[in-house]
Amino acid sequence: MKKNIFVALDFSNFDKALDIAKSVKNHAAGLKITNELFAICGKEGLEKFADFGLEIFLDLKTLDVPTTVKKTVLSIASLKTVKYLTVHTSGGYDMLKAAQEASGPLELLGVTVLTSQSASKDQVKVLAELAIKSDLSGVIASAQEYKSVRSLSKNFKIFCPGIRGVEDNKHDQKRVMSYSEFCNVSKKDNNAFAVIGRPIYEDGDAGQNIKKIIESAE
C-alpha cells in the first residue's frame, strides 16, 4: 500500500513538530505546514522537516489580488523544499491563473470549501472545475466529495482533510470520513491523499497512532 497520509502540523510548537515528523517519517507521505507553524520555523525549519525525507505541503491558503498572490507564489517557489502550496479557489480565475504562472515547479492546490463548513458536492465540484481550468495541480476537498471531484480528471491530485475515526473527536470538522472509508473510495488512486492531524498526535505516540490508522484500512 502506497503512503497516502500527509500529517497536518496545525500548531506553532516547532520542537513538538520536529518530534512528530521524526515519529511518522516511515509511515507518512509528507507534512502539512500551516501559517502558524511557518511563521515560527521559517525557511530553515522547512529544511529540517525536508531532511526527514517527507514532502512539504505549505498550507497558506493564499487569497488576495492577483498581483499580490503572484508575488507570494514566486517567493514560496524559491523555497526548494516546498512541493505543494494552497491557494483559495474563491479568489477566482484571474487570481488562480496568476498564481499558476508564477509557480514554476511548485504544485498549487486549490482550497474548495473548508471541511469545518457545510457544503454540497455540487458547490465543491464547481470550485474544483475552476482549479482545473486554471491549470492547478489539485484541490483540497473532503473525502465525501472525492468521487465527484475525481470524475472531473483522472490525474488531478485530491487532498482530503477531515479524516476521523468513528470514535475520534470530530473537533471543528463537519464533512468527515474515516481513513478506512477513504481508502475504500479512493482505492488504488495514486493521486489521492488523506490529511490527518489531531488523531495522530493529540493523544499518545504519533508513530504508533499513524500505524494503527494505516492498519485500520488493511
- CA angle 101/30/20 to nearest 5° reads 135
DSSP collapsed to 3 states, the chain: CCCCEEEEECCCCHHHHHHHHHHHCCCCCEEEEEHHHHHHHHHHHHHHHHCCCCEEEEEEEECCCHHHHHHHHHHHHCCCCEEEEEEEHHHCHHHHHHHHHHCCCCEEEEECCCCCCCCCHHHHHHHHHHHHHCCCCEEECCHHHHHHHHCCCCCCEEEECCECCCCCCCCCCCCCECHHHHHHHHCCCCCEEEEECHHHHCCCCHHHHHHHHHHCCC
More confident residue, 171 or 212: 212
> What are the phi and psi torsion angles at 63 (to 5°)?
-150, 115
Q: Residue 127: give its domain's CATH number.
A: 3.20.20.70
Q: Reply yes or no on whether 61 is catalytic.
A: yes
Q: What is the pLDDT of residues 43-94, one digit of tens each?
A: 999 999 999 999 999 999 999 999 999 999 999 999 999 999 999 999 999 9
Hey, what's the cell of 95? Answer: 487570481
Name the domain count of the chain.
Answer: 1
Residue 115 pLDDT level (bands cut at 50, 70, 90): confident
Give the span between the Cα atoms of 131 and 109, in whole angstroms. Answer: 8
How confident is residue 122, by pLDDT bands cut at 50, 70 and 90? confident
Which of 3, 22, 61, 174 does the annotation list as catalytic? 61
Domain limits for position 136: 5-215
